[in-house]
Amino acid sequence: MPIIEMHMMEGRSGELKRSVAAAVTEAVSRTLACSPETVRILITEHGAEEFYVAGQTMAQRAEQRRLAELQEQGK
Amino acid sequence: MPIIEMHMMEGRSGELKRSVAAAVTEAVSRTLACSPETVRILITEHGAEEFYVAGQTMAQRAEQRRLAELQEQGK
Amino acid sequence: MPIIEMHMMEGRSGELKRSVAAAVTEAVSRTLACSPETVRILITEHGAEEFYVAGQTMAQRAEQRRLAELQEQGK
Amino acid sequence: MPIIEMHMMEGRSGELKRSVAAAVTEAVSRTLACSPETVRILITEHGAEEFYVAGQTMAQRAEQRRLAELQEQGK
Amino acid sequence: MPIIEMHMMEGRSGELKRSVAAAVTEAVSRTLACSPETVRILITEHGAEEFYVAGQTMAQRAEQRRLAELQEQGK
Amino acid sequence: MPIIEMHMMEGRSGELKRSVAAAVTEAVSRTLACSPETVRILITEHGAEEFYVAGQTMAQRAEQRRLAELQEQGK
């Protein structure tokens, strides 16, 4: 250990995944003073309709903010 | 929190995912009396050969039930 | 399936856990039109120093808000 | 229960997944003396850039070993 | 990999955990033809009120079966 | 997102957990160029008999290494 599972939105490049994995491994081994060889990282990606905050997708929330702003401007 | 990870069989529509996420968020925030904004849901889908009960896929179990019924009728 | 893992802060009563599990099971079986018997729920609790937003515990964030409010009032 | 989530590298055949699920179910029900019907297995696959040891993908580690061997031979 | 997370009910002895981990590792490395050294197992335990089937704890379900049997006998 | 679940051996201090969470949050938000406010971290601890490599606990592996060294010295 440590074993780290990172849930991320789908679509990031391989290069970006490699760099976040390297940065997280460095952060963990530095702060926990453990060998990088003991640090394993699993990335699990989720599509646009597989992640919800307050029961809404990110697209639904963005649309809601857009409408709220329009309404605000309409005052 | 709460952070909720829902494992489901592959193939449900985006609409169905949105409705189950909304319903679960409502159920959680109502019963735990927490703001919906604190509720995050991750959906992870699994293919037909990625979910097993008693070491069998759902297709294998359905086939087994079918054969058992045939055998039952054959008596 | 579905198999649902709920991560929650430590400390909720057994009664509250039973009621959120029942409510989530009802919401899932209603919206996905699946039998409640197929719905499994796992609750995993996390202590105060096992959940972080923006790298801070909930206590650290509350303290930060308190100080910000004091500063705001001091103006 | 038990509910078992198996994280594996992408690419194994359906047949291999079925055989590992059956073997794990047998091992669990034998050693825990529980009915196979209570054992559920979820398989989650990860792509080449979704699994890291010491901050590197398996391909990066293999390349590093290859270079180290070349260097070793060059002495 | 593979990395295997086993969710189990609380209360099993250390000895039983060691034997199920050894049996699962053997089953996985045999069927996937991978070295045991690549197989990691995490056990996560859940209390009586942290695992639900059809919205009920195992105790609630056992009580329900008991009452149904009594009713059946009462006929 | 991202939502990060860190599995670690039991026993680290609250202070160490806070520092690894802050370091991982910084590493993730820097490399993925996302706001720290979107980064959530869950820590799940595992006891000595809840983490296995090659079917053995860390204590079993340490004992095995010790015996192998003794044998090596005995030659």
Domains of chain B: total: 1
pLDDT tens per residue across span A24-54: 999 999 999 999 999 999 999 999 999 999 9
Looking at residues C8-28, what average pLDDT do you find? 97
Chains that touch F (3 or more CB pairs under 8 A): A, B, C, E
When scoring B3, B38, B41, B44 by the number of chain F Cβ atoms within 10 A, the one with the most, hence best to mutate, is B3
Buried/exposed F3-36: b ≥16 CB within 10 Å, e otherwise? bbbbbbbeebeeeebbbbbbbbbbbbbebbebeb
The C-alpha atoms of residue A65 and residue E40 are separated, in whole angstroms, by 44
Question: A40 contacts in E (CB within 8 Å)?
Answer: 3, 40
* pLDDT reading at B75 higher than 80: no
Note the pLDDT of residue D43. 98
Chains that touch B (3 or more CB pairs under 8 A): A, C, D, F
Which positions of E are catalytic? Answer: 2
Could you report how far apart the first and last alpha carbons of chain E are, in Å? 56
Q: Is B60 in CB contact (< 8 Å) with chain D? A: yes
* pLDDT reading at C38 higher than 90: yes
* pLDDT reading at D4 higher than 90: yes
pLDDT > 90 in chain E, percent: 96
Note the pLDDT of residue F58. 95
Note the pLDDT of residue D14. 97
Q: Ramachandran region of residue D53, left (φ > 0), alpha (ψ -120 to 50) or beta?
A: beta
* pLDDT reading at D75 higher than 70: no
Band of residue D1 on the pLDDT scale cut at 50, 70, 90: confident
Looking at residues D41-64, what average pLDDT do you find? 97
CATH of the domain at B37: 3.30.429.10
Band of residue E16 on the pLDDT scale cut at 50, 70, 90: very high
Band of residue E44 on the pLDDT scale cut at 50, 70, 90: very high
- Report chain E's mean pLDDT, rounded to a whole number: 96
The C-alpha torsion from D38 through F9 and C5 to B44, rounded to 10°, is: -100
Band of residue B1 on the pLDDT scale cut at 50, 70, 90: confident
The C-alpha atoms of residue B21 and residue B34 are separated, in whole angstroms, by 16
Q: Is B3 in CB contact (< 8 Å) with chain F? A: yes
Residue D43 in contact with residue D11, Cβ under 8 Å?
no
The C-alpha atoms of residue E72 and residue A56 are separated, in whole angstroms, by 46
Looking at residues B7-36, what average pLDDT do you find? 97
Note the pLDDT of residue C54. 97
Note the pLDDT of residue E75. 67
What's the count of helices (H) and strands (E) in chain A, helices before strands? 2, 3
Band of residue C75 on the pLDDT scale cut at 50, 70, 90: low
Where is F6: in which H helix or E strand? Answer: strand F3-9
Least confident of B6-10, C71-75, E59-63: C71-75
* pLDDT reading at A75 higher than 70: no
* pLDDT reading at D12 higher than 80: yes
Query: Residue C7: which of F17, F39, F42 has the nearest Cβ?
Result: F42
Smallest Cα distance from D31 to chain B, Å: 15
Note the pLDDT of residue E1. 84
Q: Is A54 in CB contact (< 8 Å) with chain E? A: no
How far, CA to CA in Å, does A61 sit from each of A37, B23, E59, F32?
40, 16, 41, 21
Q: DSSP 3-state assignment of A35?
A: coil
Cβ-defined contact of E55 to C24 (cutoff 8 Å): yes
Q: Is F31 in CB contact (< 8 Å) with chain C? A: no
For chain F, residues with pLDDT lower than 50 are: none
Looking at residues C40-60, what average pLDDT do you find? 97
Smallest Cα distance from E53 to chain A, Å: 23
The domain in which residue D25 lies consists of: 3-74
Amino acid at A27: A
More confident residue, A75 or D24: D24
User: Catalytic annotation on C36?
Assistant: no
Note the pLDDT of residue E53. 97
